[in-house]
Structure 1
Amino acid sequence: MTTERRDPAVDAGERTMLEGWLEFHRQTLAMKCEGLTDAQLRTASVEPSPMSLMGLVRHMADVERNWYRRILIGEEVPFRYWTDEDPDGDFHLTRADTWQEAYSNWQSEIATARSNAAGFGLDDLSQGRHRRTGEQISLRWIHTHMIEEYARHNGHADLIRERIDGVTGD
């Protein structure tokens, strides 16, 4: 599968611009993972970190789930990978974990995020509350935070990919 990444429009309105940049970063992470074997996708960045490309995809599945399901619409769903006992469970891969499962879960959460966000205006406040502050959060804030989250982790993904096979790029 080849990911087609589209640059966000340069003359779009605010919502289209935010969603364009969010999609760009989602597609960037997918591109960083393309063409690699399961073993390569499991390759940790550098000791002692367990961060891997598969772990990043699992992490972003839970991040999407948190902000667009748990916070935005107040849905009481458990995280897919994080637990109280293992808050970094997204990065702790077992032999049973597969790329196909991680990628499928991530894409499912993205589709749900898009659907849930479509029902809100940028200024609309979430039905759930931020777990640390207890505040309701606007969709604008969530979109902006997600762009930041992906941008940061895409930097990690770029370094991990370069370590694996030398491939670099934006």
Structure 2
Amino acid sequence: MTTWTAPEIDRTHEPLVADERTMLEGWLDYHRDTLLHKCAGLTADQLRTASVEPSALSLLGLVLHMTDVERSWFRQRFAGQDLPDLYDFDTDNDADFHAAADADPEAAFAAFRAEVDAARAATAGRSLDETFTPTRSDGTRTRTFSLRWAYVHMIEEYARHNGHADLIRERIDGVTGD
């Protein structure tokens, strides 16, 4: 029986000189790839290894979380696509992280890649100045955001979680690096 391991990633590097859109998309892609890079070569059990008790934070949990975040910000909120939520956060604020215990890592990685592709499609050709005002589950409207804000927020979200991924990976097998 072959044990699945997270594939090696040929990471996209951020552009050093570019227009704003290319720079934002480049940095976002770099951080997307960095998360998967931190998982490369690990088995399903290693990907499920929690950072430290009692936290449920794991590398696989981060992949599940960022899949949901991609869907939420780019497709549900910005593009207004009527898509089901991936997790029931009304009953568990950490449902995505808790789902890692039973998740199939290969399917989770495929879902992540598919959601990233769908996010790219949802934003393709759209102005960074375009705004959106998401609706909460209770029907009330939230603050108004620009697509530019969403890109910056996603870069920040990945950067923070990639820091978590660094520490988790070092705990699993001692691997460090960017």
Fold similarity call, TM over 0.5: yes
CA contact (8 A) 1:130 1:137 kept: no
CA contact (8 A) 1:58 1:81 kept: no
Q: Tell me the distance in 1 between the aligned counterparts of 2:129 and 2:23.
A: 15
Q: Tell me the distance in 2 between the aligned counterparts of 1:44 and 1:66.
A: 24
Match of 2:23 in 1: 17
Q: Tell me the distance in 2 between the aligned counterparts of 1:142 and 1:159.
A: 26
CA RMSD of aligned residues (A): 1.7
CA contact (8 A) 1:53 1:157 kept: yes
Is residue 36 of structure 2 the alignment partner of residue 30 of structure 1?
A: yes
Match of 1:4 in 2: 10
Which structure 2 segments of 5+ residues have no match?
1-6
Q: What is the Cα deviation at residue 95 of structure 1?
A: 5.6
Q: What is the Cα deviation at residue 54 of structure 1?
A: 0.4
Match of 1:163 in 2: 171
Secondary structure in 2 aligned to 1:91? helix
69-78 or 149-158, larger mean C-alpha shift: 69-78
Q: Which runs of at least 4 in structure 1 moved beyond 2 Å after TM superposition?
A: 93-96, 130-133
Percentage of identical aligned residues: 54
112-121 or 79-88, larger mean C-alpha shift: 79-88
Secondary structure in 2 aligned to 1:74? coil
Q: Tell me the distance in 2 between the aligned counterparts of 1:129 and 1:150.
A: 21
CA contact (8 A) 2:77 2:134 kept: yes
Match of 2:161 in 1: 153
Match of 1:123 in 2: 129
Q: What is the Cα deviation at residue 133 of structure 1?
A: 6.8
Which structure 1 segments of 5+ residues have no match?
none
Residue by residue over 1:56-88, the C-alpha shift from the partner in whole angstroms, topping out at 9 and shown as x without a partner, is 000000000100111111122222134311221
Query: TM-score scaled to structure 2, two decimals?
Result: 0.89
